[in-house]
Amino acid sequence: METIAKQQAARLLLKFSGVGQGLCVPNHLALMNALREVVPTWDFTEEALSSDCEIGDHCVAHVSIAFHAPLCYNINSIYTEEPMMGLSTASAVCSLLADILETHISNSANPIALHAGAFVMGGKLIAVSGPRRAGKSTLISRLCAEPDVQIYCDDVLPVNPSGHGIALGLAPRLRLPLPKLASPVFRQHVQQHLGPHDERYGYLCSANVAAHGTTHPLAALIILDRRAQATNAHFCELNEDDALFYALQQNMGNFANPQEALLRTQALLGNVRCLRLVYHDLEDAVALLRQAFGQSAEPYTNLPVQPAQAWQPETARAAEPIRAKQVFARAPGAAVRRIGNSTFLWLASENSVWRLNTVAEAVWALLETPGSAEELADVLGEVFVQVPKAQLEKDIAGLMAVMKEEGFCSELIKSKTRPVDSWALRGMRSAAYLN
């Protein structure tokens, strides 16, 4: 009777083991199958609901099927100020798991949660982190193709007070399409194990993903330094202060105060080997990791490690310029949240969070109605009166080019301008910035 009732229920409350609040979702086959495939070992219950539950009461996120597309979803979350609209199944799963992870971390007794990938190789748990676009998720996904490697995570590694990393049992997520130089081994593995996916990301549902709750002592922290120019993969020592800085910067856990954060992180790193991995070719990096960790009980045997060096991560290439008359609209899946005096923007399918400056915040607010850099400059010229119109238009076009490249907005009409109601833009501007 319970199974029949569950099948007939229009909505379900999903409650994950160890997480107090759940997810209110439609009893939709595509979404539920995708969740089960991506989270095969993190137990969750499915409670039939006779009506929607309230956000923040029993659930942290509420999902509905998009009216215009049966396989797209809209999500309201306690962690975002605005709903995320028109998400693909893969992006919806990503957003929901991000909410569960954040809730789990905020309620956990484990103060450290590293924004890192992690894997066990040669009996040693190695965490890999680094600056944005350093290749963390791609490296973890490539290591999925190594049958003797156990994957702990590609994004979040909780660490308990004993210094053991904890696997949450989530399939790693890979940016698509694959790099042009991806090896045949990597391509074949992705083809065989690709689970829920869209044009930007896909989950790799490999058999070597560690089950939820598996623990292992953390042995090494590797900061990735991917180079645009060809170079042989090699390790550099990481100074104690640099390692502490990166570990604190990448921590998503909760501390009572900065002193506690510093002391606990320093204590963790006291038992961890910290290195920087400089590489250009992915296969070269995998081979070096195997040489360092794959065989010997003691890592780095006969492996040269270069002295610590000053390092400034390479800046990302400039975005392709756009024309001032190109019309753009917000992309589905973008979420914004205001914390203190700052506004933060991210995509449901991304791991990175952007903090918006004053102009970017204004542009984002105005893009609720599609518009061009030229039109937005006309409106914002009334606010930023000290900036010449030509300079403001150039700055806005550059900003929108970055937003386009990062997936926050998309061109509405190719090579053709579209009239925008400037009065509507002015009303939005007034509501957002003058009140």
Domain count, the chain: 3
Domain co-membership, 268 together with 176: yes
Range of 281's domain? 112-306
Asked whether 41 and 169 are in contact (CB, 8 A), the reply is: yes
Asked if residue 95 and residue 116 are part of one domain, the reply reads: no
Pairing outcome for strands 59-65 and 73-77? antiparallel
Is 189 in the same domain as 260?
Answer: yes
Same domain, 46 and 141: no
Q: Do both 51 and 120 map to the same domain?
A: no
Strand ranges, E, within 301-363: 305-306, 327-330, 334-339, 342-347, 354-356
Between CA 360 and CA 242 the distance in angstroms is 31
In this prediction, residue 12 carries a pLDDT of 93
Domain-located, residue 321: no
pLDDT of residue 16: 95
Domain edge (last residue) among 74, 106, 138:
106
Q: Which residues contact 91 (CB under 8 A, 6 or more apart)?
A: 198, 200, 201, 332, 333, 348, 349
HSE toward the beta carbon, residue 277, CA cutoff 13 A: 30
CA gap 203, 38 in Å, rounded: 7
pLDDT tens, position by position, for the chain (435 residues)?
344 444 456 899 999 998 989 999 999 999 999 999 999 999 999 999 887 787 877 899 999 998 777 778 999 999 888 888 889 999 999 999 999 998 998 888 888 999 999 999 999 999 999 887 788 999 999 999 999 999 999 999 999 999 999 999 999 999 899 988 899 999 999 999 999 999 889 999 999 999 999 999 999 999 999 998 889 999 999 988 888 888 888 888 877 777 788 888 889 999 999 999 999 999 999 999 999 998 766 777 778 899 988 777 766 566 788 899 999 999 888 888 776 666 778 777 665 667 788 888 889 989 988 999 999 998 888 888 888 889 999 999 999 998 888 888 888 854 444 333 333 333 332 222 222
Strands 305-306 and 327-330: unpaired
**Counts for the chain of helices (H) and strands (E), in that order:** 12, 25
Phi and psi of 254, rounded to 5°?
Answer: -120, 130
Are 157 and 290 members of one domain?
A: yes
**In a shared domain, residues 418 and 370:** yes
Is residue 413 domain-shared with residue 376, that is, in the same domain? Answer: yes
What is the structure's pLDDT at 340? 64
Output the pLDDT for position 73.
Answer: 93
Tell me whether residue 222 is in a domain: yes
pLDDT computed for residue 171 by the predictor: 97
Does a structural domain hold residue 277? yes
Domain closes at, from 61, 78, 106: 106
Q: What is the predicted pLDDT for the residue at 254?
A: 78
Q: Which residues of 153-164 are buried (b: 16+ CB within 10 A; e: fewer)?
A: bbbbbbbbeebe
Residue type, 314: E
- Name every residue whose Cβ is closer than 8 Å to that of residue 233 and which is 6 or more positions away in sequence: 277, 278, 279, 280, 281, 284, 285, 287, 288
Whole-number Å distance between alpha carbons of 367 and 425: 9
Please indicate, yes or no, if residue 351 is contained in any of the structural domains: yes
Two tokens, residue 72: 């797209």
Answer yes or no: is 322 within a domain: no
pTM: 0.76
> What was the pLDDT predicted at 216?
97
**345 and 417 both lie in a single domain:** yes
pLDDT at 85: 87
Same domain, 127 and 216: yes
| Residue 384's CATH number | 3.90.930.70
409 vs 32, 66, 284, 332, 364, CA distance in Å? 28, 19, 35, 8, 9
If asked whether residues 168 and 249 sit together in one domain, one would say yes
Note whether 286 and 345 are same-domain residues: no
**Domain end among 48, 78, 106:** 106
